[in-house]
């Protein structure tokens, strides 16, 4: 690591106030990057910025308040970022949720599908031209190895109609993987790259709940890797010179890893892209209505 080596580059990091996101912001800032830390919670965001500046007084870190819960809020966040940053070199879509129960947002979309897939899809789309303008931008999607257990039903997955704590999370990460590979195909020849990365099994608050199960999980997590460990692979993808031309890949930590047949299905990815554009209000195509043949879980 060389202090100042990323000077002049602008990085956007969602979910940057805690866990892996905060570690990503700190590592980039310590190397001279100008980092926009996107946080929904102002108090937590300000605390994270203060901690980073205390560790690296010369770091350039901005707090950007951004709600990722609805389509309108993500659009507002994108407008704020475009207004504040005439240059964007790297977008790291790190924010993620692992809900314990089925929760729908104001758009009627299940929360894991919204935050883990549709937010990266919409935010990336809205910032893409600014990233392209630099000629060599990068997009990094923080994914999860559990995507391999995911399935996609265009009429049911967005609404969480088959909600299961693990399965729904895996479904959302499969969607994110399909988006990553389809975006890479669409970006071919532009100089902008996009890759997905599993950062490891990391000691964060993601997926933690209350009660006896939550207590057990917190004890287990004590043996997992730290957020600083989890930040290494995303930061590497965002900055390594040897990856300047690498796009459309999935990395399990630092290992370039083949994706499942489902994740690599270009027709499924195209269909999901069209659905996502409709759900995000970016197209006039009709949105498939959910099938209610099975009563949704509470």
The per-residue pLDDT for range 133-183, each reduced to its tens digit, is 998 999 999 999 999 999 999 999 999 999 999 999 999 999 999 999 999
* Straight-line distance from the first to the last Cα atom of the chain, in angstroms, rounded to the nearest whole number: 49
Nearest alpha carbon to residue 258 among 147, 183, 165, 171: 147
Residue 286 domain-assigned (yes or no) = no
pLDDT tens track for 196-234: 999 987 555 554 455 554 433 444 334 446 889 999 999
Cβ–Cβ < 8 Å for 181, 269 = yes
Split into its structural domains, the chain has a count of 1
For residues 124 and 118, what is the distance between their CA atoms, to the nearest angstrom?
Answer: 10
CATH of the domain at 137: 3.40.50.720
Which of the residues 85, 159, 169, 250 is marked catalytic?
A: 169
Residue 4 domain-assigned (yes or no) = no
Q: What letters, b where the CB count within 10 A reaches 16 and e where it falls short, cover 281-291?
A: ebeeeeeeebe
Nearest alpha carbon to residue 82 among 127, 135, 133: 127
Residue 294 domain-assigned (yes or no) = no
Residues linked to residue 188 through DSSP beta bridges, in sequence order: none
Residue 298 domain-assigned (yes or no) = no
Write out the two tokens for 210: 């209350």
For residues 111 and 73, what is the distance between their CA atoms, to the nearest angstrom?
Answer: 14
Write out the two tokens for 278: 């409709």
Quick check: helix, strand or coil at residue 142?
A: strand
| CB within 8 Å of 240: residues ≥ 6 apart | none
Residue 3 domain-assigned (yes or no) = no
pLDDT tens track for 4-34: 799 999 999 999 998 999 999 999 999 999 9
Residue 267's Cβ-count burial label (10 Å; 0-12, 13-18, 19+) is exposed
Helices (H) and strands (E) in the chain, counts: 9, 8
Residue 270 domain-assigned (yes or no) = yes
Q: What is the pLDDT of residue 283?
A: 84
The dihedral built from the CA positions of residue 61, 64, 69 and 70, taken in this order, carries a sign that is negative
Residue 57 domain-assigned (yes or no) = yes
**pTM for this one?**
0.90
Count the neighbouring beta carbons within 10 Å of the beta carbon of residue 255: 9
Q: What is the pLDDT of residue 186?
A: 98
Domain that holds residue 273: 10-279
For residues 134 and 247, what is the distance between their CA atoms, to the nearest angstrom?
Answer: 17
Q: Is 250 a catalytic residue?
A: no
Segment 101-117 mean pLDDT = 97
Q: What is the pLDDT of residue 58?
A: 84
């Amino acid at each position: 690591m060389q202090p100042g080596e990323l000077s002049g580059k602008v990085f956007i990091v969602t979910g940057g106030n805690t866990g892996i996101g905060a570690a990503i912001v700190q590592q980039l800032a310590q190397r001279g990057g100008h980092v926009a830390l996107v946080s929904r919670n102002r108090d937590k965001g300000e605390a994270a910025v203060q901690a980073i500046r205390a560790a690296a007084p010369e770091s350039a870190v901005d707090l950007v308040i951004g709600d990722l819960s609805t389509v309108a809020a993500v659009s507002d966040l994108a407008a704020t970022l475009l207004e504040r940053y005439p240059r964007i070199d790297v977008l790291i879509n790190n924010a993620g949720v692992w809900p314990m129960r089925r929760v729908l947002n104001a758009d009627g979309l299940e929360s894991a599908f919204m935050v883990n897939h549709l937010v990266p899809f919409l935010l990336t789309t809205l910032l893409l031209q600014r990233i392209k303008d630099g000629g060599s931008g990068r997009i990094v999607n923080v994914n999860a190895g559990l995507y391999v257990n995911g399935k996609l039903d265009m009429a049911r997955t967005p609404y969480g109609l088959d909600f299961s704590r693990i399965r729904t999370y895996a479904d959302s990460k499969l969607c994110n993987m399909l988006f990553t590979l389809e975006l890479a195909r669409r970006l071919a020849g532009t100089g902008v790259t996009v890759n997905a990365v599993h950062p490891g099994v990391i000691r964060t608050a993601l997926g933690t709940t209350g009660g006896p199960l939550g207590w057990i999980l917190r004890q287990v997590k004590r043996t997992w890797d730290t957020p600083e460990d989890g930040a290494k692979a995303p930061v590497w993808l965002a900055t390594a010179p040897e990856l300047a031309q690498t796009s459309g890949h999935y990395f399990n930590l630092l290992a370039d890893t083949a994706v499942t047949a489902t994740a690599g299905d270009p027709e499924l990815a195209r269909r999901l892209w069209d659905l996502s554009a409709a759900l995000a209000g970016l197209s006039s195509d009709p949105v498939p209505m959910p099938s209610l043949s099975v009563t949704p879980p509470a």
